[in-house]
Amino acid sequence: MAKAKKKAESKKETKKKKNASEGEAIADEALPVRIKKEKIKCSLIEDRVVAEASPHATELYNQSRFGILLDDGKLQLNLIEGLYLVDKGRIVILDGRNKPISGETFVKKAKKLEPNFWVRYQVYKDMRNRGYIVKTALKFGADFRVYDRGIKPGEDHARWIVYPVHEASVLTWYEFAAKNRVAHSTKKRLMLGIVDDENDCTYYEVRWMRP
């Protein structure tokens, strides 16, 4: 009787282990599989970052409106967009010898090419991280134009034009009024992006009022 009891208990334990292993297998199958996207190869050409033609590059443009999609399928990015996508691990920028350019080296080059690059980048990065699409606004005489969340260029007009400035910068009333006039003439709201020494950003939106 004792032996029969032990055999019955042994069978129960075996069944439990089998059921447990099957349950773990089912749980593993239910877990989402994370596919790591391959980094897009890019070249630094003067003051532009050009991504090779690929479905991933096209996806960057179609989904988030990074850069300009060229006729040959390549994606042209400005320096700020390039650094942002490097930081996000989406692209790798190669030099003339086909070797990756480090983020530090890229920033040094960018600072030489564009004034106020680091401050502008902090505002760009912060707004992109908040879910806004940010594009250049050179034709408006501003740094950036920013679209409402969920809105892509071409679907509607940008809501703001943004001027990034360091907190220690001095802005005269004349300069401030000039920026307001630009915003008013383009039917957009003026926003100042203030960057402090810790690279934190604070925003001030300016609107016209009639007394």
- With cut-offs at 50, 70 and 90, classify the pLDDT of residue 12: low
Q: Work out the burial of residue 6: count CB atoms within 10 Å of its CB; fewer than 13 is exposed, 13-18 middle, 19 or more buried.
A: exposed
Tell me the C-alpha to C-alpha distance, in Å, between residue 8 and each of 3, 11, 12, 20: 9, 5, 6, 18
Lowest-pLDDT choice from 23-27, 92-96, 123-127, 150-154: 23-27
Q: What is the pTM of this model?
A: 0.79
Lowest-pLDDT choice from 30-34, 116-120, 178-182: 30-34
**How large a percentage of the chain has pLDDT more than 90?**
63
- With cut-offs at 50, 70 and 90, classify the pLDDT of residue 29: very low
Which residue ranges form the domains of the chain, and what is each CATH number?
37-114 (3.40.1170.20), 115-211 (3.40.1350.10)
Catalytic (active-site) positions: 147, 157, 188
Mean pLDDT value across residues 45-54? 94
Q: Which has the higher per-residue pLDDT, 97 or 80? A: 80
Whole-number Å distance between alpha carbons of 114 and 82: 13
**The token pair that represents 124 in the structure block:** 């760009």
Chain segment 150-193, per-residue pLDDT in tens: 999 989 999 999 999 999 999 888 888 888 888 888 889 999 99
